[in-house]
Amino acid sequence: MLPEPTAMLPAAMPWLDLAGLAVFAVSGALVAAKHRQTMVTLVFFALITGVGGGTLRDLLIDAPVFWVHDARVPVVCLAAAVAVWATPERWWRGSALDWFDAVGLAAYAVYGAAKASGYGITPIPAAMLGVVSACVGGIIRDVIAGEPSILMRPELYVTAAALASTSYVILTALGVPLAGPIAALAGFLLRGAAIHYRIALPAYPARGLEERG
C-alpha cells in the first residue's frame, strides 16, 4: 500500500494544490459565463477544468484519483462557479481569464511534479507529469467550449508549465528550501510575461510551401 499523498509531500504542497484548483475552476466558470450558460454549466466547467489534469496524472502514476477521495475539491469548484455567477461581469473582463489560468498553471505544474515524485516517479517523467497536470484541464475546457485551444495560442504556455515543474524537480534535488513556491513563481512570471509582452517561441517555418509557391 502506498502512503497517503499528503504524507509524501512538503507541508505547503496540498495548499498549493487547492490554490491551483481554485483558480483553474474560476477560469473554467469564466469560459461558461462568457458563453452565457446556466449555473449548472458553470459548475460543470469549473469542475472539469479544475480536476482534468490531476485526474490524468493520478491515473498515470497509479494513485487514487484525488477528487474522488477529497470532499474539498467539489466544494472549491462549486464555490468558484458561485463566485463567478454572483459577481459583476466587469470584474472578469479583459485578460482576467488568462491571469487566473496563469496562477493555476504554475501551481498545478509544481504540485503535479511533487506528487509524481512522491509516488516514486523519476525526475524527468515527474516534471513531464507536472506539465500534464497543469495543461490538460485547460485543454478539455477549451475543446468542450469550442474555444481555440491553449496549445495553439502563440504566447508561451506549456513552456511556462515546464519551467515550473522542472524548476521544482531541480531545486528539490539540490535541497533548496521553499522549492515549491519558488518554482511556481518562476512559472507564473514567465507565463505573465508571455501574456503581457506576447512572448512566443519561433513557429515552424513552412519552407516547402514557400519553395512551391
Q: What are the extents of the domains in the chain?
A: 12-197
Give 93's DSSP letter. -
| pLDDT attached to residue 209 | 52
Convert the pLDDT of each residue in 34-85 to its tens digit: 899 999 999 999 999 999 999 999 999 999 999 998 889 999 999 999 999 9
Contact 120, 129 (CB under 8 A): no
Contact 147, 92 (CB under 8 A): no
Q: What span, in angstroms and rounded, lies between the C-alpha atoms of 191 and 201?
A: 12
| pLDDT attached to residue 14 | 66
| pLDDT attached to residue 6 | 42
pTM confidence score:
0.86
Residue stretches of the chain with pLDDT short of 70 = 1-14, 16, 94, 206-213
| pLDDT attached to residue 7 | 43
Residue 155 phi/psi, 5-degree rounding, is -75, 160
Residue whose C-alpha cell reads 515546464 in the numeric block: 162
Q: What span, in angstroms and rounded, lies between the C-alpha atoms of 136 and 151?
A: 10
| pLDDT attached to residue 18 | 80
Residue whose C-alpha cell reads 487566473 in the numeric block: 100
